[in-house]
Amino acid sequence: MEEINVTQAARQLSNLLNRVAYQGASFELTRGGRRIARLVPAAPAKHVQVSELNALFARLPALGDDAEQFERDIADAETALVEDRDPWQ
């Protein structure tokens, strides 16, 4: 991991970000000789395969009795909604 002073990093930020994004480079930022931060590539987003969805949903906590109350609350909210009217008609 390359070490770089924060002043230099500020002056070269665009270049550093390009190196991180396209080359996977990492930098330790220093101020007064002390390491204060790291500039590293973001972790890739975890992709979920369709075949994994059932297992994923099975690991979620069950709502139990709250599920029925939640369903009633949504139904009540839907009946309370007022349809938008066009003010120009």
E runs forming strands in the chain: 2-5, 27-31, 34-39
CATH number, domain 2-39, options 3.30.310, 1.10.20, 3.30.460, 3.40.1620: 3.40.1620
pLDDT for 49 equals 87
Reported as a single tens digit per residue, the pLDDT across 52-77 is 888 988 888 877 778 888 888 999 99
- Taking 80 as the threshold, does the pLDDT of residue 89 lie above it? no
Residue that the structure tokens 């590539």 belong to: 41
Contact of 12 with 29, CB cutoff 8 Å: no
Three-state DSSP class for 62?
Answer: coil
Reported as a single tens digit per residue, the pLDDT across 15-47 is 999 999 999 999 999 999 999 999 999 987 678
Length of the chain: 89
pLDDT for 45 equals 67
